[in-house]
Amino acid sequence: MDFDDTPEEALFRAEAVAWLQAHARLRSGQSAEARRRRARDPSPEAQAAHVAACRSWQAILHEGGWAGITWPAKYGGRGGTPMQQIIFNQEQARFDVSTGSLTVGLGMVGPTLLRWGNDDQKSRYLDPILSGAEMWCQLFSEPGAGSDLAGLSTRAERGSGGWVVSGQKVWTSLAQHSDWAILLARTNRAAPKHRGISYFLLDMTAEGIEVRPLRQIDGVAHFNEVFLTDVHVPDEQVVGEVDGGWKVAQTTLQSERLAIGGGEGLRFEDVRAVLAATTTDKDPLVRQEVAAAFTRFELLRYLGYRVQTAISQGRPPGPESSVMKLAYSEHVAATADLLVQIEGVAATLGGSAAPAGGLPQQQFLTQWSSRIGGGTDEIQRNIISERVLGLPREPDPGTSSADRSQQPMTPAEEGKVSL
């Protein structure tokens, strides 16, 4: 494992730091005010303000030539290396800025279009994504198709000049603020379930779309239900081949898992600050759990270094990239439990009465987002066992052995993913 920058990487890092210092304010993660900002304000106004701030910062990145560092220059990117993107992300994390609301577009739609989109689609959609002018959401999961995403029932039928889509999607992050969506719909009900799905780009202002926010246990309406009733989607908004959307979706889902696995949020400094504000810091059992939390933080950091080293040396990342999402979600759950344990009875308080701005409560209540979103912990274990370790595939209760023998699926088609 290599912890040091090459001379070229060091020069790029210095350039990035200089630009960030000139355009953003350093984050003060130790302050009580910073911790309060990390505990989400549940009001729609606060959410809208955060979305606007993300768009504004993305526009500044785009204008300064720092948006889409690995994307081709002809599509608005910088034409740089994955290692340069990692370096910039590392340095940007030290500043009080965010592009989190644009994650679907930047981290999922962009890579998918670069891999599968045609020239017209790349020219139309990529630059507005990079500039923050257009925000995207993901219409994949359904009430009856979560862990088995390929079991989706939203249908797209041939219409005049395109497709007519009807169905229901759920757990759609920030759909109420999005301009566009990526959509999976069944276009061939006679085909095996993985082979009759197509991948669409959907204008969220189209007639027949209804978005209903879902208020979560912490009071935030981050997720949404989306109802589609005879929504027209033109032919030019199909990505890849008709009925071949599952392989396109795998690019999106892989990007999503990497984004979650490499996600930052809670830091060990937050745990230490909550501990220091209580009298439990002398409890040997609590101290043991805090030490375990520190170990998890470090393990994730070194897993990230392994991925970074492989990318820097021009090698594909190894198994560490597959386990990061699962390791991260398990870490979030264990650390959230620890925070409320540290606070004790004070963890039952909310709002302005809660210590640390309500950060422990917010982390505890929202841990399920990372444990379910992007692939449940159980599904991630299946992926690791089958694709990393090479263990036998777990039987699919919805498919008979005769069907499986007649319709063999490729490894990419076998993925069962929760959103």
C-alpha radius of gyration, the chain, whole number? 22
Alpha helices in 132-244 (DSSP H): none
Q: Is 80 strand, coil or helix?
A: coil
**By the 8 A CB rule, do 347 and 359 touch?**
no
359 is written with which tokens?
């950060």
Contact 375, 333 (CB under 8 A): no
CA distance 310 to 298: 18
Within 140-217, strands assigned E span: 155-159, 162-169, 180-186, 197-203, 209-214
Given 91, 134, 142, 256, the catalytic residue = 256
Tell me how crowded residue 164 is: count the other CB atoms within 10 A of its CB: 17
Other beta carbons less than 10 A from residue 286's beta carbon: 17
| Sequence-separated (6 or more) residues with CB below 8 Å from residue 63 | none
- For 389, residues 6+ apart whose C-beta sits below 8 A from its C-beta are none
- Concerning whether 386 is annotated as a catalytic residue, the answer is no
Both tokens of residue 32?
A: 């009580």
For CA atoms 314, 320, 325, 331, the dihedral sign is negative
Six-digit token string for 152? 């989706």
* Residues identified as active-site: 256
